[in-house]
Amino acid sequence: MSQTNEQASRDTAPAGSIRFNTDSAKIEIYNGEAWWDVEATSSFEQTGGTRGIRAGGYSATDRIEFFNIDTVGNATDFGNLTDARWGMGSASDRTRAIFAGGDSPGDVDTIDFITFAQQGNAVDFGNLSANRRYTVGGSNSTRSLLCGGAAGSTQYNIIEYVTTQTTGNAVDYGDLTVARQSSSASACSPTRTVISGGYTAPAAGSTIDYVTTSTLGNAANFGDKTAAGSYGSGITSNAVRGLATATPYGTNSSVIESITIASLGNATTFGTPLQNKRSQTTSSNGHGTLLNVIRMQDRPKTAASIARQLNRDDIPNVQYGLRKLVREGLCKKVTNTGSKHVAFTVTDQGKKLTDNYAKVRRQILIEQTGNIDRIDEKLLEATRLLSMLTGLYDEVGRIASSYSRVDYK
């Protein structure tokens, strides 16, 4: 779609409109400000967060640990970074986390990555454009941003990005509104990345910036923190709310702040952490979608049928997620008499969790669509189109699989 047509579409389309983008071959929905890729939106919201990763730390360790977010307990060894360092930026998608830059001691441009489901050492991903520490990361389903940072006494306003599933060097994206390091955190929705606070020499700053993640360009002002702060520990977000810690420079005293990602404005106080730390890096992935698929129609499902429902071919990752859900008491294995096939069904605890999820979803998603004209009709139209395209992709896949690139003699 040309830029002229895109602008005209934004000017005339009411919120809730649905279209098929002929340039990208994707179905999109308009939220009143921008067109959202339906597929990207869905996959982003599936990264709810059951495994957390903690990497590096002061002073210069290469240790990577993981912990189960839903289960109280100690961290477990995951592997090692390619270099011992602290003050890294991090970002992730559903299966992979990246760790960028840091102090080794001495600022470095290294980017490492790990796969959540596979314990082991980090692997080289590429390099930043310059050596720097204390960047902050943000991501959508395909792209990871690395913002700000410092090298020696120099503060950077640069924003760079990588395609998370494709190894390579970082590429220029744009600039922050002000050069800074040690931003408290980033919060991400399917379309927006928000960067909070940071140390803007000679003092901590209170500025919150945001960018539209899929569109290259400079950051714009979002609002202000409750207080100037830097040296924050990265905290996750869902598609609606972002959390960030504010740790004033030179202290270990933190508070947790909250923003609504889609609404520009100042942060509000959310609470206080159990333990005050600084200069840590965190990232998470999740298996909440697996649990909701198992719960559908309250019938047991095999790993293969769950993967088919999600249109996924990474069966080992699906099986890993199912093992996690079983260990956490959210689902259990069942077998039919005389059958060797193992299926999964939710436990009472899993039913309670999915019921709570449905309640929250109604509150933060369905109720928000009440003012969209003919929303039920539009969603029904989108569902039919998605079903048709799914069948089309399946048919094309079967046709493509009948061709061979090997010449047999």
Rg (CA), the chain: 22
pTM, entire model: 0.55
Same fold flag, 45-285 and 288-381: no
Return d(Cα 366, Cα 385) in angstroms, integer: 20
pLDDT of res. 396: 80
Residue 287 pLDDT: 65
- Tokens representing 211 are 């960018």
User: Which residues, including other chains, have CB under 8 Å from residue 279's CB and lie 6 or more apart?
Assistant: 57, 58, 86, 87, 134, 182, 231, 233
pLDDT score recorded for residue 8: 41
Tens digits of per-residue pLDDT, 308-319? 888 777 777 788
Residues 28 and 38 sit within 8 Å (Cβ to Cβ)? yes
What is residue 288's three-state secondary structure?
A: helix
Residue 349 burial (CB count, 10 A): 12
Task: Convert the pLDDT of each residue in 155-189 to its tens digit.
Answer: 899 999 999 999 999 999 999 998 888 765 567 77
Looking at the domain covering 45-285, what would its CATH class be? mainly beta
Class of domain 288-381: mainly alpha
- Three-state secondary-structure class, residue 134: coil
Q: Where do the structural domains in the chain lie, given as residue ranges? A: 45-285, 288-381
Query: Which ranges of the chain have pLDDT less than 50?
Result: 1-11, 37-48, 232-234, 275, 278-285
